[in-house]
Amino acid sequence: MKTLARKKCIHVFLAYTGGCNGCDIEVVNAVLSPYYDAEQYNVFLTFNPREADILIVSGCVTLANLKPLKEIYKKIPEPKAVVAVGSCALMGGVYKNIYGDLGPSEFVVAPVDKVIPVDVKVPGCAPRLKI
């Protein structure tokens, strides 16, 4: 029964890797808010990567979260999709070059697509859902 139910639903895992939380707020609003009500289309937020169909990554990939992000990606069963949301996920955002005269940050490793394969890129700081 559980397998049949999973085939009819989309489970989304949100991986926040660092930043201002603007992208997270937009994603959670799109999935959980009654205004958009994604659950009526059988789209649910999950906190277990083994149940996820889609991985949404927001924030810049740092030294601290590089290994956990790769592990989360490996745990998601095939077929899977990865969505990189926001300027931080796509290019490091303000955190990549925040130190001015000191040069680029050594803590921001790379954009998400250099760490794991990305299927969809959503630009913006923070991206807004428009209907």
In a domain, 75, yes or no: yes
pLDDT category, 17, cuts 50, 70, 90? confident
In a domain, 24, yes or no: yes
In a domain, 77, yes or no: yes
In a domain, 67, yes or no: yes
Strand intervals (E) in 1-131: 10-16, 43-46, 54-58, 61-62, 81-85, 108-110, 120-122
Region 25-34 average pLDDT = 79
Q: What is the pLDDT of residues 68-108, one digit of tens each?
A: 999 999 999 999 999 999 888 888 777 666 655 555 566 77
Mean pLDDT, the chain, rounded, equals: 83
CATH code assigned at 95:
3.40.50.12280
Q: Yes or no: say if 10 and 52 are a contact pair by the CB < 8 Å rule.
A: no
In a domain, 131, yes or no: no
Query: Do β-strands 54-58 and 81-85 pair in parallel, antiparallel, or remain unpaired?
Result: parallel
Q: What is the pLDDT of residues 50-71, one digit of tens each?
A: 999 999 999 888 888 899 999 9
Give the pLDDT confidence score for residue 131 in this predicted structure.
56
In a domain, 39, yes or no: yes
In a domain, 66, yes or no: yes
Domain count, the chain: 1
What domain range is 68 assigned to? 2-122
113 CB neighbour count, 10 Å cutoff: 17
This prediction's pTM: 0.84
In a domain, 128, yes or no: no
